[in-house]
């Protein structure tokens, strides 16, 4: 059987690897000239366990399962973070610290309650978690090595279907797996959100890499990247730039964002984190913005879980986060099971 996978982000690459392991014929089409270049290469690089999602059970469960499966298969593509704090600021969080801990405990998430460092001067309950950081350069090397002669770069795919075949750029396949996070074919239940994160360098080289994630609600987080001393600053209210009905509109928004708008976002995001960490700008210097697009379901319940849908010979994966790749691959396998046995 012949499979086309469209998109060489974490989803397309992981699913292609699993299908290839079954002995199936796989081709991966990627419009960019490298792999892991769009959302998978432009995010906060957090391998989630579920601590970010106090308000969404499905997301927490997928993250918890996905985290451990990620470590089983791809531990070498992650690194631990020496002190990874989740902080619940008194009065600013939508839920109090006791409720937060209860939700995480009842979801089977282990943490250690620990007083936060003095650089965080705002009263917060705090826990330390085992969430890790994703290593994107290593992931690129891994997937190039495990998918030789499989990935076609610089090929923008279009899809058409007849009764029992699907065509990608006119070529016939048994199945096509759309791993473009909704960019190939929009979905009425999802919208596109243009986003901005900010990169900072920690001034004191070699000091401990601490991650700070303030929850729950319209708060912010500071998280290390794969590059020593380089962090991302993200903000629930200020990272979103705008909502868009189409992929083209969202891509246009990030391509044309002015330096004035970037500076405005920067001021707002720095002001927000300095409410909790007043010395932030003494310790970190601003580098660059990171611009990308999120595909999100409508609704206010903070759903970042993964959905896999089948339309005839086309299977579409709508990711939420990187840890959900195992859920997506299992769903794809279940949908094609009868025909691959």
Ligand X SMILES: Cc1cc2nc3c(=O)[nH]c(=O)nc-3n(C[C@H](O)[C@H](O)[C@H](O)COP(=O)(O)OP(=O)(O)OC[C@H]3O[C@@H](n4cnc5c(N)ncnc54)[C@H](O)[C@@H]3O)c2cc1C
Q: What is the DSSP string of 61-76?
A: HHHHHHHHHHHHHHGG
Query: Who contacts 257 (Cβ-Cβ below 8 Å, separation ≥6)?
Result: 194, 196, 241, 289, 291
Structure tokens at 10: 């974490």
Local structure of residue 117 (DSSP, 8 states): P
Mask of contacts with ligand X, 235-274, x by CB under 6 A? ----x-----------------------------------
Measured in whole angstroms, how far is the alpha carbon of residue 276 from the centre of its chain? Answer: 25
- Per CB under 6 A, does 97 bind ligand X? no
* Least CB distance to ligand X at residue 256 (A): 18
Which residue lies nearer to ligand X by CB, 39 or 124? 39
Q: Are strands 284-297 and 210-214 parallel, antiparallel or unpaired?
A: unpaired
Strand order in the sheet with 46-47: 46-47, 132-134, 78-79
Q: Using the rule CB under 6 A, is 78 a contact of ligand X?
A: no
Smallest separation, CB 282 to ligand X (Å): 26
Applying CB under 6 A, does 62 fall inside the site for ligand X? no
**Is 27 near ligand X (CB under 6 A)?**
no
Question: Does residue number 140 form part of the binding site for ligand X (CB under 6 A)?
Answer: no
Q: How far is the CB of 91 from ligand X (least distance, A)?
A: 26
33-41, 135-143, 267-275, 276-284 -> range binding ligand X (CB under 6 A): 33-41
Interface pick for ligand X out of 4, 5, 8, 241 (rule CB under 6 A)? 8
- The CB-of-115 to ligand X minimum distance in angstroms stands at 25
Q: Are 323 and 132 in contact (CB under 8 A)?
A: no
**Helices then strands (H, E): number in the chain?**
8, 21
How many residues bind to ligand X according to rule CB under 6 A?
37
From the list 44-52, 87-95, 109-117, 253-261, the region that binds ligand X by CB under 6 A is 44-52
CB neighbourhood size of 179 (10 A): 31
DSSP string of 253-291, one letter each residue: HHHS--HHHHHHHHHHHHHHHHTT-TTHHHHEEEEEEEE
Taking CB under 6 A as the criterion, the residue among 4, 20, 44, 92 binding ligand X is 44
Does 61 bind ligand X (CB under 6 A)? Our answer is no
Binding residues (CB under 6 A) for ligand X: these are 6-12, 29-32, 37-40, 43-46, 48, 156-157, 179-181, 183-184, 195, 197, 239, 292, 294, 319-323
């Amino acid at each position: 059987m012949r499979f086309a996978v469209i998109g060489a982000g974490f989803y397309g690459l992981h699913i292609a690897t699993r299908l290839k392991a079954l002995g199936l014929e796989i081709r991966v089409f990627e419009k960019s000239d490298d792999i892991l270049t769009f959302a998978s290469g432009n995010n906060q690089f957090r391998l989630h366990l579920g601590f970010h999602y106090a308000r969404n059970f499905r997301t927490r469960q997928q993250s918890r399962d996905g985290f451990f499966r990620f470590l089983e298969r791809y531990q070498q593509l992650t690194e631990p973070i020496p002190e990874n704090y989740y902080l619940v600021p008194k009065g600013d969080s939508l839920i109090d610290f006791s409720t937060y801990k209860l939700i995480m405990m009842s979801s089977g998430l282990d943490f250690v309650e620990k007083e936060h460092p003095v650089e965080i001067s705002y009263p917060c309950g705090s826990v330390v978690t085992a969430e890790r950081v994703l290593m994107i350069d290593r992931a690129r090397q891994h997937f190039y090595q495990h998918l030789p002669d499989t990935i076609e770069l610089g090929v923008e795919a279009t899809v058409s279907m007849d009764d029992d075949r699907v065509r990608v750029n006119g070529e016939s396949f048994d199945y096509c797996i759309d791993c473009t996070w909704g960019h190939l074919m929009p979905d009425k239940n999802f919208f596109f959100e243009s986003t901005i994160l900010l990169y900072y360098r920690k001034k004191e080289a070699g000091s401990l890499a601490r991650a700070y994630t303030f929850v729950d609600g319209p708060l912010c987080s500071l998280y290390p990247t794969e590059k020593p001393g380089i962090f991302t600053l993200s903000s629930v209210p200020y990272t979103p730039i705008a909502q868009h009905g189409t992929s083209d509109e969202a891509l246009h928004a990030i391509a044309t964002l002015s330096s004035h708008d970037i500076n405005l976002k920067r001021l707002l995001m720095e002001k927000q984190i300095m409410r909790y960490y007043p010395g932030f700008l003494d310790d970190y210097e601003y580098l660059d913005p990171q611009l990308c697009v999120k595909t999100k379901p409508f609704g206010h319940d903070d759903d970042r879980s993964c959905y896999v849908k089948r339309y005839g010979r086309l299977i579409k994966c709508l990711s939420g986060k990187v840890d959900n790749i195992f859920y997506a691959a299992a769903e794809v396998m279940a949908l094609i099971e009868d025909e691959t046995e």
